Amino acid sequence: MSPELTERRPVSPPPGWDLDEAPFHAGEIAVQMRAGVREKAEIGGRRSIRRYMPDQHRQFFAQLPFIVLGGIDAQGQPWATLRIGEPGFVSSPDAGTLRIAGEMLDGDPLVDAWRTGAALGGLGIEPPTRRRNRVNGVVTDDADGALMVQVRQSFGNCAKYIQSRTPERILAREVDSTRAPQHRSATLDAADRALIARSDTYFIATRSTLRDDAPSQGVDVSHRGGLPGFVRVEDESTFLAPDYRGNQFFNTLGNIVEDSRAGLLFIDFDNGDVLYIAARAEIVWEGAALDEFSDAQRLVRFKVEQVRRSPSALPFRWSAVEYAPQWRVSGAESFNPAQREAQGGHRLHL
């Protein structure tokens, strides 16, 4: 082949992480070390975390009816929320840029957060197929409500712990026009506690210190799944969640080591209620409480600081749930908190 033809050949982005510095910040590295997986995480991170989106991820984001976002409000508090739209509302003009248009939900705590320079964590998740991909970056433009995001980290996650359910968009006129306004409180009321206790899914946004401009710094938003009852409500201000084995990058726990503020999002899939919680998180590495959660590697205890419940804010109706294949509990399709109590507290079997 002639040199001229060789020079004109497109150059593909290098696979994996292309910088000498690690794709992890100090908090993530500290948790990896304590968990005894530091070397494995470094090898896996350099192989699978990229500073661009592969074509498969770009196509995946474009087919979604909603995306989970993590951001930081004016007080520095991270929140997890959703944006919705017709497929294509998330697009990718190039491998290093994600454009997020669509609609914000009523009562979104990040409505005023998206400015140029804001850190953003994104999670594309497709419950029917159990696919999910992550993208973290920085907002470079917010013209006309559409966010242009410069990608700083992009990687896929496995299907583990994702419950399968199919969303169907409903028309605005089908949503109760007399729905109640968002309810705000400093504690969890009885309805909030009941929703958490029966939930099989939640999303969590966390942040690093953002003390420098390293690619490892920023906001992350992650998915957590389990059988109903896998999150234990201790009282109106405290709940406890297991941390199961994952990719061992510890993006969420590493952020918590650096900044204990967390934003959680629970969805009532029956009526479209959205429950936002701002909390302080503490990692529980050992102790009697850990023994109550079978196969949990660690626990995270959340101390509630703010609660915002938006009734019927999510305009989807969902098919019946099919639990992730990891849950090998007899009768899992009808498993509920009452059964959990009858089977001996909060112990789950994987």
Note whether residue 7 is domain-resident.
no
Q: What is the CA radius of gyration of the chain?
A: 20
What is the residue type of 143? A
Per-residue pLDDT tens for 253-271? 999 999 999 999 999 999 9
CA count, 13 A, side-chain hemisphere, 236: 7
Contact 17, 232 (CB under 8 A): no
Distance CA 120, CA 113 (A): 10
pLDDT of residue 341: 40
The torsion angles phi and psi of 149, rounded to 5 degrees, stand at -120, 125
* Six token digits for residue 185: 């409180």
Q: Which of 27, 61, 193 is nearest to 135 (CA)?
A: 61
Note whether residue 2 is domain-resident.
no
Alpha-helical runs (H) found in the chain: 3-8, 26-35, 38-48, 55-62, 190-198, 251-258, 288-291, 337-342
Domain count, the chain: 1
pLDDT of residue 172: 63
pLDDT of residue 326: 81
Contact 275, 309 (CB under 8 A): yes
pLDDT of residue 41: 95
Beta strands in 285-346 (DSSP E): 298-310, 316-318
pLDDT of residue 186: 98
Contact 254, 25 (CB under 8 A): yes
Cβ within 8 Å of residue 3, ≥6 positions away: none
Note whether residue 309 is domain-resident.
yes
CA 178 → CA 184, 238, 316, 345, distances in Å? 18, 32, 17, 39
Per-residue pLDDT tens for 103-143? 999 999 999 999 999 999 999 999 999 999 999 999 999 98
Written as tens digits, the pLDDT of the chain (350 aa) is 434 434 444 445 567 899 999 999 999 999 999 999 999 999 999 999 999 999 999 999 999 999 999 999 999 999 999 999 999 999 999 999 999 999 999 999 999 999 999 999 999 999 999 999 999 999 999 988 899 999 999 999 888 899 999 999 997 655 555 678 999 999 999 999 999 999 999 999 999 998 888 888 999 999 999 999 999 999 999 999 999 998 899 999 999 999 999 999 999 999 999 999 999 999 999 999 999 998 899 999 999 999 999 999 999 999 999 999 987 553 444 344 433 443 333 333 33
What is the residue type of 309? R
Note whether residue 137 is domain-resident.
yes
pLDDT of residue 178: 61
User: What is the domain extent for residue 103?
Assistant: 16-171+178-342
CATH number at residue 295: 2.30.110.10
N residues, the chain: 350
Note whether residue 23 is domain-resident.
yes
What is the residue type of 299? L
Note whether residue 93 is domain-resident.
yes
Contact 79, 278 (CB under 8 A): yes
Note whether residue 347 is domain-resident.
no
Note whether residue 261 is domain-resident.
yes
Distance CA 151, CA 137 (A): 4
Strand 167-169 and strand 183-185: pairing? Answer: unpaired
* Six token digits for residue 337: 């908190």
Distance CA 138, CA 36 (A): 31
